[in-house]
Structure 1
Amino acid sequence: MSAPSPAGYPRIRVSGPPAERSRQYGELARERIAVIRAGYERAFAAKGIAWAEAVRIARRHLPAIERYTPELLAELRGIAEGSGLGFDEILTINCRTEVLNGASRATGAAIRAEFGECTAFAVEADRRADGGAVVGQNWDWLEALEGGVIVLEVERPDGPDYVTLVEAGLLGKMVLTEAGLALGMNTLVSSLDGVTPGVPYHLQIRSVADAPHAAGALEILAGMPRAASGNFVLADASGAVLNVESAPGGPEALTVTGSADGTLAHANHFVGPVAGGHDLAPLAMADSYARLGRMRRRLAAVPGEFGREELRAPLRDHVGFPNAVCCHPDPAAEAPARWKTLASVLLFPGARRIEYTAGPPCAGDWIELDCAELLA
């Protein structure tokens, strides 16, 4: 499995209408898409789900996709055409949350083996040294998928241009847009996952990239039935920050919070109620509670403005090692199930800038991407 180079993850730029730019995406990222396709087949198998069954689960969400996000079907088909894979294969890796969360709900205590973790935060503009809001996140996921990560830059006529750090073949992950929207996220899992039809999580993420601001992102999420649990950490160029905690369902299954002190943080458990269900984090990601506590404490310890070091330092926290905010592979886990921080990311929506590390932030150099030319 190839690791990222010292220069970071590969940058791929695509342009044009949906079908054309997505075909370019598939062609340019073909080798890394193959890594992700094979990696998720192994991850599903570790949960007892054969690839054919994963495809069946993914196709169950097609009616909701066709009704609420039909424009994204052209993007999925374009990626499939360019990569040489079938549409069902690309659909299924984009439904990886629905496949894994559904298996987790069904298998109870066994779910810990296949879940990564993410710890995220946001800081409002008036707490920032340069006057711009920021979203920060450690993206922790299966170490075996590291060789499939890319930075995707999308230039398009049908919506705001955007940049996303993502597993190749997926529509989006951490996102920064031309409209000045920054998006981070956290995995959540509830008793409602795997039984609620709707728009898959990674298609929700891609839909949010169309929003003009943080409030618009909330409107998009509230306007569609969602198939899986997830959390969205948002900031925009106006300086606003917002957290949207989402369970499967409609607007009644959203818990929305702003910031009381200029900061907010989230990990992998529900802070608000789960309408009609319950949180599975105590079984799935029990270290989430300590990680959220550490992140909140580190943010609260900053007395005034957040400069570069104040933003980066909380992401290097090792309390609870190896399953800490800065996550490292657990030697007690089998190799296919080991996870780590694949990227530590800071998104600056006002400056249209991304800073990230390829791997844990305690060990790697920060890479700065000036996206102003694309996202002007």
Structure 2
Amino acid sequence: MIRRWHAESTDAAERGRAYGRAWRAELRASLAEYSELFERLAFAPDAVARVVDGALAQTAAHAPAVLDELVGVADGAEMTIAEIMTLNARTEVLALQKPEGGECSTAVFLPADGPPRTIQTWDWLDALSADNLVRSHIAADGRRVVTFAEFGQAAKIGVNSRGLGVHFNILHHVSDGAGAGLPVHILARRILDEAATVDEAVAIAEAVPLSASTVITVVTRDRAVCVELAPSGIAVIAAVPEQLLAHTNHFIDARLSAGEVTVYASTTAERLVCLTDHAEAVALPTGLERALALGAVSDAPISMRPRPESPRHLQWASKATITIDVAAPAIELHAGGPAEVTREGWRRIEA
């Protein structure tokens, strides 16, 4: 279920405390799920603690306002800041070991005379995050931000009232897991809170250390780029007008792809082909039309379903289908993959 929450306070710490009080049970449930996953993956507790401690230090250095909010979340939920940071740094913890499967398919069509048309599936482990949250808040400079994320995370996929949005896909690189890094979910939050242009978003990403890889697709009213990020470097792939820009879970940049780590049983190549073959669906004017058109594709791999032959804790599923409107800033979404989208269940939440 996708839940909804709006923060009234503009004070980061108070906003966090209100979040923690409102979603205490969900935050604790999410932590329990990830703790069980780390145990099943045989992560040593001291290794997890080192990643979380490093994430805390890097957040203090590179995103202190976000840390103020997360401390407030911990206070409101009667949890520790390390527990809340574990939820934000789950990608960095998982970078210690590449699990089976893959997540997320994103596509953008950039018209010659209008804003980008986007769509993404958010795919994740089926045993985790049955409930997620669309939250909105007012950033320090007065802009409004709305973002979809798992409980406890500062951000994931979203848009701000300045007309900048971000999509989000995990990647895997040989440089992952070495050293301390700013969690990629917190990097996404900084971009939403601070950037109004593609160049500003790229500058924020270039300035922070990372310990896990991801690609953040940044869209504004006239541009779209995939910002591929690894601890060893960054690459920017720009959309070409009247063409599709698609990204799944492997690097496109030649230099970074040389360090690609192929995840066992990943469908990243098949999903990229599916998006490319159905570019006309991504080019449709409204988010709902895009989702319904892709959902009508027979056996489309972008609508991921759990594989019963895999262990329960390694079964992947499409948890949400999300589009971003930067012209009248909003996210639109539906639980499940495109194959599950209905007109009645489609929701629009404005920044």
Determine the C-alpha separation between the residues in 1 that align with 2:293 and 2:250. Answer: 19
Pair 1:208 & 2:191 matched: yes
Flag as ranges the 4+ runs of structure 1 deviating above 6 A: 317-321
Name the SS of the counterpart of 1:150 in structure 2.
strand
Determine the C-alpha separation between the residues in 2 that align with 1:182 and 1:345. Answer: 12
Pair 1:343 & 2:320 matched: yes
Q: Give the equivalent residue in structure 2 for 1:246.
A: 229
1:265-323 Cα offsets, whole Å, 9 max, x none, are 10000111355961112x34531011111111211x469764556522464276776xx
Residue identity matched to 1:176: V
Asked whether the 8 Å contact 1:138–1:315 carries over to 2, the reply is no
Asked whether the 8 Å contact 2:117–2:285 carries over to 1, the reply is no
Cα gap change, 1:116/1:302 in structure 2, threshold over 3 Å: closer, same or farther? closer
Asked whether the 8 Å contact 1:12–1:152 carries over to 2, the reply is yes
Shift of 1:22: 1.1
Asked whether the 8 Å contact 1:172–1:205 carries over to 2, the reply is yes
Pair 1:70 & 2:68 matched: no
Task: Work out which of the residue numbers 280, 292, 298 in structure 1 matches 2:261.
Answer: 280
Shift of 1:174: 0.6
Pair 1:227 & 2:211 matched: yes
Shift of 1:175: 0.9
> Which runs of structure 2 are paired with 1:17-28 in the superposition (5 Å)?
17-28=11-22
TM-score by length of 2: 0.91
Task: Work out which of the residue numbers 15, 19, 42 in structure 1 matches 2:36.
Answer: 42
Determine the C-alpha separation between the residues in 2 that align with 1:87 and 1:228. Answer: 21
What fraction of aligned residue pairs are identical, expressed as a percent? 26
Residue identity matched to 2:69: E
Residue identity matched to 1:337: L
Name the SS of the counterpart of 2:218 in structure 1.
strand
1:325-366 Cα offsets, whole Å, 9 max, x none, are 111111112223222111000110111222211122212424
The total of aligned residue pairs comes to 346
Pair 1:136 & 2:119 matched: yes
1:103-132 Cα offsets, whole Å, 9 max, x none, are 22xxxxxx31xx4410001122437xxx33
Asked whether the 8 Å contact 2:218–2:226 carries over to 1, the reply is yes
Q: Give the equivalent residue in structure 2 for 1:107.
A: none
Task: Work out which of the residue numbers 270, 288, 304 in structure 1 matches 2:251.
Answer: 270
1:60-83 Cα offsets, whole Å, 9 max, x none, are 233332222222221220111111
Pair 1:359 & 2:343 matched: no
* RMSD (Å) for aligned C-alpha atoms: 2.3
Determine the C-alpha separation between the residues in 2 that align with 1:159 and 1:192. Answer: 37
Task: Structure 1: state its 5+ residue gaps.
Answer: 105-110
> Which runs of structure 2 are paired with 1:40-119 in the superposition (5 Å)?
40-104=34-98, 111-112=99-100, 115-119=101-105
Name the SS of the counterpart of 2:278 in structure 1.
helix
Asked whether the 8 Å contact 1:163–1:176 carries over to 2, the reply is yes
Cα gap change, 1:347/1:310 in structure 2, threshold over 3 Å: closer, same or farther? same
Q: Give the equivalent residue in structure 2 for 1:108.
A: none
Asked whether the 8 Å contact 2:287–2:323 carries over to 1, the reply is no
Task: Work out which of the residue numbers 296, 305, 311 in structure 2 matches 1:328.
Answer: 305
Determine the C-alpha separation between the residues in 2 that align with 1:11 and 1:271. Answer: 34
Asked whether the 8 Å contact 1:126–1:262 carries over to 2, the reply is no
Cα gap change, 1:55/1:318 in structure 2, threshold over 3 Å: closer, same or farther? farther
Asked whether the 8 Å contact 2:106–2:169 carries over to 1, the reply is yes
Asked whether the 8 Å contact 1:47–1:100 carries over to 2, the reply is no
Task: Work out which of the residue numbers 115, 138, 143 in structure 2 matches 1:160.
Answer: 143
Cα gap change, 1:160/1:308 in structure 2, threshold over 3 Å: closer, same or farther? closer
Q: Give the equivalent residue in structure 2 for 1:11.
A: 4
Residue identity matched to 1:368: R
Determine the C-alpha separation between the residues in 2 that align with 1:50 and 1:303. Answer: 43
Asked whether the 8 Å contact 1:135–1:234 carries over to 2, the reply is no
Cα gap change, 1:79/1:304 in structure 2, threshold over 3 Å: closer, same or farther? closer
Name the SS of the counterpart of 2:127 in structure 1.
helix
Task: Work out which of the residue numbers 219, 224, 237 in structure 2 matches 1:257.
Answer: 237
Cα gap change, 1:69/1:287 in structure 2, threshold over 3 Å: closer, same or farther? same
Pair 1:296 & 2:276 matched: yes
Asked whether the 8 Å contact 2:6–2:137 carries over to 1, the reply is yes
Determine the C-alpha separation between the residues in 2 that align with 1:303 and 1:118. Answer: 15
Cα gap change, 1:328/1:302 in structure 2, threshold over 3 Å: closer, same or farther? closer
TM-score by length of 1: 0.85
Asked whether the 8 Å contact 1:176–1:183 carries over to 2, the reply is yes
Which is further off, 303-312 or 56-65? 303-312
Task: Structure 2: state its 5+ residue gaps.
Answer: none
Residue identity matched to 1:316: G
Determine the C-alpha separation between the residues in 1 that align with 2:84 and 2:3. Answer: 20
